[in-house]
Amino acid sequence: MIDIRQIMQYIPHRFPFLLVDRIVELTSEEAVGLKNVTINEPFFQGHFPGHPIMPGVLIIEAMAQTGGILAFNLAGDLKSEVVYFMGMDKVRFRKPVYPGDQLLLKLKLIRRKGPVFKMKGEAFVEDRLVAEAELMANIEPVKGE
């Protein structure tokens, strides 16, 4: 298990944009992360007042952050490299995500070519698929180092 302090060593995101709370499984082919969705999230003020729903793009971002941890686990140097989100395909939003939900983020490696990774991402609330996408990421040296 990887806790939030360790996650912040893998990826540069910080409040209010750090969207994965814990990694519960990490292998050479898969990462499984958790995101606890609370009413305290800043985006709920405007999305939508009186009917709060987590924006789909932020669900995809939570998947991408989990996938970034998978990529770093396979190839990164935490001290001198950073993972960049490159693209997404086959994005589908299946169900809304509400305050009080817990997102289970499953990222599986499809293929790797050098520093470029393609992953299949799925987000679940309980046993319901709420979103899915294919994501691409690239690991590059940190500029100025």
Q: Which CATH superfamily, name and number, covers 4-141?
A: Hotdog Thioesterase (3.10.129.10)
Q: Which residues are catalytic?
A: 47
pTM over 0.85: yes
As a whole number, mean pLDDT of residues 104-116 equals 96
Any idea where the domains of the chain sit in the sequence? Answer: 4-141
65-97 tens-digit pLDDT = 999 999 999 987 777 889 999 999 999 999 999
Given the structure tokens 């305290």, which residue do they identify?
40
Task: List Cβ neighbours of 116 (8 Å cut-off, separation of 6 or more).
Answer: 86, 136, 137, 138
135 vs 143: which has the higher pLDDT:
135
**What pLDDT, on the 0 to 100 scale, is given for residue 142?**
85
* Contacts of residue 141, Cβ cutoff 8 Å, sequence gap at least 6: 80, 81, 82
